[in-house]
Chain A
Amino acid sequence: MAEWNAFYQNEEADEEQEEGEESAVNYKVTGRDSLVFLVDASKEMFIKGEDGEPSNFDITMQCVRSVYTSKIISSHRDLVALVFYGTEKSKNPRNSFKHVYVYHDLDEPGAKRVQDVEALRGERGARLAADTMGSGEVSLGDALWCCSNLYSDIKLRLSHKRLMIFTCMDQPHGGDSTKDRQARTKAGDLKETGVVIDLMHLMKPGGFDVSLFFCDIVSPPEDESELGLQVEPCGKLDDLQKRVQAKQQKKRAMARVNLCLGEGMNVAVGVYANAVTARKPSAIRLYRETNEPVHSKTRTFHTQTGSLLLPSETRKAQVYGNRQIVMEKDEVDTIKKFYDPEIFLIGFKPMEKLKLHHHIRPSVLLYPEEQQVTGSSCVFAALLKKCTEKKVFAVCRYTPRRNYPPRFVALVPQREEVDESNVQVTPPGFNAIFLPFADDIRKLDTPQFPTASDVQVDKMKEIITKMRFKYRSDAFENPVIQQHYRNLEALALDMLAPESIEDFIMPKVEQIDRRLGPLVDEFKELVYPASYNPDSKPAAKRKTADAGGGDEKKPKVEIPEAELRAHIKNGTLGKLTVPVLKEACKQFGIRTTGTKKQELMDALIAQMAK
């Protein structure tokens, strides 16, 4: 059923973004990603820092919570589990392991789980942990074995399996070699089944020595040349979150294509999204009686005969110049085909030729795919190095998929950057910036004004300096999405009211006013005459969105039928404004669902043709 159904649904989706862009990154679903948090619950984890800093356990729980909530928002299909080891009490599927407490089985995170983890935070959380689990003997081997059972009990196909160990003990078994060996064997078994084991080692007095034990447990780094464990242990929540965040998202290429430098010189690259606009998820339909989800099916049928139409029994059409032009479906596809998927190098330009305002869609990152074409990484690294040195970018023609018209991109080199504790903050690669075509650039009438005097500019400089801050791209949460999830959370957990959100993109007006003090008035005196009020004019002009009763005031805009017909005949319907067209639709009893001008026009033309 899947395919058949999907076929019809696809067709619908197709039409919506017929000429569409690659709006969302459509990963090919191959299975679920999974993540197990294996957290040390021994006494040492609960020791608080000197200045009342939160304990390692506390920051781990905060981190787990944030992963839970971010998974709910960004990838709710992923499975997550939370397992404690070194506990006094035990709780696991067959209760065959002592001192292992499975707090959350591998499953999609939900509201309840977020609450559970939330409860484990802080002072009270530590008490709760002590009550429910307690701290006891440590056997990492058993814990790992238990985790491997979690994986094997899952019926779903798992595409990416990751296990993160949070601990501050570099010798968990205190030198017990039997237990060490057992843990190593179990870790080996896990790795063999494709589980990637990461260590999130936390601060410990005297430093955390990875080489004592954990170097044999964790998976080797992707990059063999590096030890991968040179990173310092995390002491701060921020660092831990950053580190977990970087690891927990499986990076998936949007596309794998050849970067073609010229005839016979193809370098394989993966294309990755730098950022994708997160949207509110779409609603799902539920059956009123039972609240169970329903699925929709779209069918196409013939209006006259009522029989279902096969895709081959329909065609595609567009109307231009009063004429309907009809094409077969596959013709519509071939029109879009220009090249096979590739990134074709046209040439290079100096960096200053890349115009800031030439922006049409979020960029993507290119990284070599050594597994597809060996030698790719070397060419890529050399290009990256030389482009950086010579301060040039590459102009390329990019065809992401078959039946997709090309776009031009500027490949801007990006060198790798790491922070103090050796964690990568910027990956190496080429950022592909999409360049506009002539059609994308609008001609504007640019008004001319006298430029400001030095005094005026200097005053503004003072204002600017007072309001300086350090911008970070991850500093602003989307209030719309956050509010939406808070609302859902409240409904899911039967809370009385949703938790309030902080709107980070709201200017802190009072703070700004306080900081600027008299500067504002001084600046205004310099640029505005006393009689001038910048707030007055536009408000008086017209109220559109603000006034609820705006509609009533508007005079009726009716248009005689004869005039309308004349417009249709002469093809000048487009000269009428949307309100006039809407009114005309009403006049002739046409029910319109659309509000777009083209839709209204089409509806009117169709009606008049009858």
Chain B
Amino acid sequence: MSRPLLKIYETLVLCMDVGFSMSNSPPGEEPPFDQAKKVIQKFVQRQVFSESKDEMALVLFGTDATKNPLDQDGQYQHITVRRQLMAPDFELLEEIENHVRPESQQTDCIFSLVAVGLFIQVKKYDRLNIVLLTDLSTQVSSDNLDVIIGNLGKLGITLQFFFPFPMEEEEHNEEGGGGDGDGDRRGSSRPGVGKGLSREQKQGLEMVRDIMLSLDEDEGLDQVYTFSEAIEQLFMFKHIERRPMAWPCQLTIGSSLSIRIVGYKAVTDEKLKKMWITVDAQTSKRDDVKRETVYCLDDDNETEVQKDDTIQGFRYGSDIVPFSKVDQEQMKYKHDGKCFAVLGFTKHDSIHRHLFMGSQTIKMFAPKDDEHAGVALSALIQALDKLNMVAIVRYAYDRRCNPQVGAAFPCIKQTYECLVYVQLPFMEDLRQFSFPSLENKKFTPSESQLAAVDSLIDSMMLVEEDENGQKEDMYKVHEIPNPAFQRLFQCLHHRAVNPGTPLPTMEQWLKDALERPSAISERCQAPLEEMKRKFPLKAVEKKKELKTGAQIFGKGSAEPDAKKSKVDEEEEEFNLAKISEGNVTSVGSVDPARDFRSLINQKSLPFGEVCQQLTHRIEQLLSNRSTHYYMKCITYAITLISKDEVEGSTVSKDDANQVSLRKPLEPYLNHCELVKNAFLRV
């Protein structure tokens, strides 16, 4: 991933050649058309999920029909604007999926670019980037070269090209003077290369080279890619890029020395902006679902009180102190706002890496246009670095934010210098646990055990020196995209494009990226076996201690762990009765009534779920065409929906009302009634 693929500009026009040569390919090879379409699809997907605001248009070359603003007097034929400049969305994806198909005309793709530059209306200040995907099989007229270059330059357009074949290969073939048997040097498997290039293609390439070099002498050719290169690089969703926000401030030492600085977040625990919203299952509408919070007194009736009748308070140990918002605001700790003030300097090694706090590091530079600040800051950075010291600072983002204490480390790179700020803990944050020493006769490893560990470590080194003495890191975590985002986008995309189908499995590349590199896995096989022989490990069969009812019955195993149940404090009291009922986890078929009752008492499952289980059980019994089952049902149904049952249990009335148990049972009640009558008649 050396070259940045597809520079993102404000506006982008994807031009795809759909002309007839694009769907030609030697047997067994994927036609260039399919590849190009894939590139476009992947790219648009990435833009959709990265919520890019960059607008995008889609223009097809070589279409049977013509649809473009310049379609007059027979010029610019077979060019179709499929979509005007707009932010990419799923409609565009569907459009590509359904409406971009091979067609049978040809156009001079390169000349058409100028047309695109003319008729795509770009707002002032926005730069236009045109991407062309073609196999260059159409005759291009080099007569127009100057016109093209002139126009592109005038319009400030930048170009990127995607071809089915590599550009360098062409060069190589020319040098080799022929180009037939020479394809094996850089993978003859590359589609398009094996058959050699046609005269038109060579001519086209030549023109592309001229154009690109005239637009950007040095790096122009870096913007030419092959389809397969592009697909390879686009397989992952684009990782989140946030525009860095500048934080201008002054670093102060004492009252009279200040240095102007600008801070930027350099590393931060990145979260997705979007949250899941709750929608109605039937209508999928958000507006149909409303959430309401009510406040209740802690009395038997759980009397509701209005929000306006409540005030704010805080706990001070066992005391509860009423403390209004106004008072709180008035009495709270106040400070002067934004600051980056040095408290003092200390040895680098007195700052422990494991006590870094917060979720970010900030890099502090001097402002871009302020050379004096640059020099002053450089003096500080250099001095800290030479003395092997760091600054301890008070940092406050602004007046509304709480001030922090942190360390500013010097950071000297080849191209720049900066301070790196990290938050440090307050006394209240520390958890000073002590642990039994491991220097213990029982645990002290023997020499042979240590040797086994030694060779395991050696076999699993991820960083190794190559023959040039260069250290090669084969597992860079900071280059792996966050798998949580990748997987979420994959699933969202799948669901959007294929509604109603189950979610896909994780993509193989992602799985592989999260695993041990295969070279390491192989190398560590033997040392690992040795480790297993040297260190006997035995899992202890845990006898689960019986603690509280809540623990025994636990959160129902059906519930995902993410939903941690908050165990109410009343639960702390030990309840023998619960245990004696045995471990009831669902409403069974033997005695549903009893199970239902004990589940409600245990509160191990949400009330609604228990009700559903019961309803389900009754349905099951009803479907059994045997009369005494019917009778069994009737009794259960009647007893259980009676209010008394619910009141008798520990479920509060309020909760009981929340689930209308009666509703799902109603049809069955009628049914039972019928059966009962029928039975009596018999």
Contact = CB atoms under 8 A, between A and B. Distances in A.
> Do these two chains interact?
yes
A412 B333 CA distance: 37
Contact of A473 (B239, B352, B506): B352
A346 B441 CA distance: 30
Given A274-B355, A284-B314, A317 B292 contact: no
Interface stretch (A91-99, A298-306, A583-591): A298-306
Given A71-B317, A284-B313, A444-B264, A468 B655 contact: no
A348 B281 contact: no
Interface in A460-513: 460-461, 463-465, 467-485, 487-489, 491-492, 498, 501, 504-510, 512-513
Interface string A278-322: 100101111111011111111111111001111111111111111
A148 to B, nearest CB: 19
A555 interface: no
Contacts of A405: 482-484, 487
Contact of A452 (B273, B378, B572): B378
Contacts of B355: 274-275, 362-363, 473
A321 B536 CA distance: 55
Interface string B103-127: 0000000000000000000000000
A437 B477 contact: yes
A608 interface: no
Contacts of A52: none
Interface string A209-228: 00000000000011111100
A207 interface: no
Mostly, the A contact residues are mixed
A225 B440 contact: yes
A295 B295 contact: yes
A2 B570 contact: yes
B682 interface: no
Contact of A1 (B51, B436, B655): B655
Given A449-B366, A450-B378, A574-B51, A534 B289 contact: no
Contacts of A111: 316-317, 319
Contacts of A110: 316-319
B313 A293 contact: yes
B514 interface: yes
A488 B438 contact: no
A72 B278 contact: no
A335 interface: yes
A442 B93 CA distance: 29
Given A30-B547, A471-B351, A310 B316 contact: no
B53 interface: yes
A575 B243 CA distance: 13
Contacts of B413: 446
A289 B248 contact: no
Contacts of A262: 524, 528, 531
B204 interface: no
Contact of B371 (A263, A449, A460, A471): A449
A416 interface: yes
Contacts, number: 792
A549 interface: no
Contacts of B268: 360, 440, 442
Given A320-B492, A428-B435, A498 B532 contact: no
Given A108-B318, A439-B485, A475-B427, A505 B343 contact: yes
A223 B392 contact: no
Contacts of A304: 288
A298 B291 contact: yes
B462 A297 contact: no
Contacts of A7: 563, 565, 606
A334 B502 CA distance: 12
A483 B254 contact: no
Contacts of B343: 505, 507-508
Nearest to B392: A471
B173 interface: no
A264 B524 CA distance: 13
A350 B457 CA distance: 11
Given A353-B463, A442-B267, A468-B344, A412 B354 contact: yes
Contact of A338 (B392, B427, B483): B483
Contacts of B563: 7, 10-11, 14
Interface string B245-262: 000111011111111100
A284 B55 contact: no
Contacts of A534: 250, 258-260, 372-373, 376
B244 to A, nearest CB: 5
B87 A249 contact: no
A108 B316 CA distance: 10
B345 A451 contact: no
Contacts of A20: 271
A157 B545 CA distance: 15
A531 to B, nearest CB: 10
Given A310-B608, A318-B492, A294 B295 contact: yes
A185 interface: no
B91 interface: yes
A451 B434 contact: no
Kindly name the residue among B49, B289, B475, B659 whose own CB sees the greatest number of chain A CB atoms within 10 A.
Answer: B289
A478 B483 contact: no
A509 B254 contact: yes
Interface string B594-616: 00000000011111100010000
Interface stretch (A43-51, A134-142, A174-182, A382-390): A382-390
B579 interface: no
Nearest to B561: A402
A535 B338 CA distance: 13
A200 interface: no
A6 interface: yes
Contact of B372 (A312, A349, A474, A529): A529
A487 B332 contact: yes
A294 B266 contact: no
A397 B475 CA distance: 12
Interface in B480-510: 480-485, 487-488, 491-492, 495-496, 503, 506
B99 interface: no
Interface stretch (B13-21, B161-169, B195-203, B395-403): B395-403
Given A439-B240, A452-B375, A387 B457 contact: yes
A357 interface: yes
Interface stretch (B148-156, B174-182, B186-194, B382-390): B382-390
Interface string B411-441: 1010111101010111111111111111111
Contacts of B250: 534-535, 538
| Most central of A226, A367, A474 by chain B CB within 10 Å | A474
B426 A464 contact: no
B354 A532 contact: no
Contact of B277 (A316, A363, A424): A316
Interface stretch (B74-82, B133-141, B447-455, B619-627): B447-455
Contacts of A289: 309
B384 A278 contact: no
Contacts of B321: 488, 491-492
B378 A295 contact: no
Interface stretch (A82-90, A119-127, A371-379): A371-379
Contacts of A10: 563-566
Nearest to A476: B405
A303 to B, nearest CB: 5
B345 A468 contact: yes
Contact of A469 (B333, B345, B457, B570): B345
22 contacts: A19-B272, A68-B317, A274-B355, A283-B314, A286-B310, A297-B654, A302-B290, A304-B288, A318-B275, A318-B276, A322-B89, A348-B462, A356-B411, A387-B457, A436-B267, A437-B477, A440-B267, A471-B350, A488-B316, A524-B256, A526-B379, A538-B250
Given A437-B477, A473-B352, A538-B249, 11 more contacts: A19-B272, A19-B484, A283-B312, A297-B295, A299-B658, A327-B495, A346-B462, A359-B267, A372-B542, A465-B345, A505-B403
